[in-house]
Amino acid sequence: MSHFRLTCPKCGMERPADMSPEACTGCGSPLDVKYSSNVRKLSEMPTPLHDFKSRLTLGEGNTPLTELATIGGKLPLRKLYAKLEFLNPTGSFKDRGTATMLSVALEHGVSELVEDSSGNAGASVSAYAARAGIKSHIFVPADAPEAKLRQIIAYGPNVHPIKGSRDTVTTAAVNYCKKHGIVYTSHMLSPYFAEGTKAFAYEVAEQFGQELPDHIAFPVGNGSLLSAPTMGSESSRNPDESTTYPSCTASSPGM
């Protein structure tokens, strides 16, 4: 019997975990992974895998937590730290989510997948798919940054440049999946990607020990780095404890 299921946080629908469409068939909301028990510490962190020893990894996670003493000393703060997520294998936190998402894909026998991304997620999925021997199709905006495209191409996927808005790129990817019967591994919708990203929250808790930070500032695009760690904090919450969790701020170049 599986130790987890997929559940809709909006309408409450539950179904067995699989690689079928990554949104609720009833209301269209993104799904969550629901485990049979809560988590207490990183070493006990549940994963949506039946065989954790066979997980796909490139060495993601366990990034350093570094005190920024000089900058912090100039600000009205007790201490300031940086979590160095750029030290993940392809240079971004998205490797956390990709590792889990593609590990689940491997358990389900996926041999070909589709992702749409304007940069970091495309590079991450391409790299992990190459490691797993999975054929990948990455749909990108035709005007995506050249440096990001070069990184994606370096891992050997089939790149599909699409003219139009970001939504147009997503629509093209979804239609390609339907036409060819290929799994859509969307970093924006996949509950397994979100599960992998939650490890950020558990790592921060272990690195700080008993005294959690008062506040965490997140750089965001679509908000996956902000939302998944927040869910990670909630999933590790013990109802009998009165732990105070950090407040969070999101910022992006367009905000």
Given 133, 163, 184, which residue is the final one in a domain? 184
Given 166, 184, 202, which residue is the final one in a domain? 184
pLDDT tens for each residue of the chain, 255 residues long: 467 888 898 898 888 888 877 788 888 888 888 887 655 444 455 676 666 677 899 999 999 999 999 999 899 988 999 999 999 999 999 999 999 999 999 999 999 999 999 889 999 999 999 999 999 999 999 999 999 999 999 999 999 999 999 999 999 999 999 999 999 999 988 999 988 998 898 888 889 887 888 889 888 877 778 775 565 555 555 544 556 778 888 888 765
Given 184, 216, 242, which residue is the final one in a domain? 184
Range of the domain at 175: 112-184
- CA 85 from centre of chain: 13
- CA 217 from centre of chain: 17
Task: Output the pTM of the full model.
Answer: 0.87
Residues 147 and 214 occupy one common structural domain: no
Q: What are phi and psi of 161, to 5 degrees?
A: -70, 135
Residue 104 lies in a domain: no
* C-alpha to C-alpha distance for 209 and 95, rounded to whole angstroms: 24
Residues 117 and 236 occupy one common structural domain: no
Total of domains in the chain: 2
- Contact call for residues 239 and 246 (beta carbons, < 8 A): no
3-state secondary structure of 168: helix
Residue 118: Cβ within 10 Å count = 17
Residue 232 lies in a domain: yes
Residue 99 lies in a domain: no
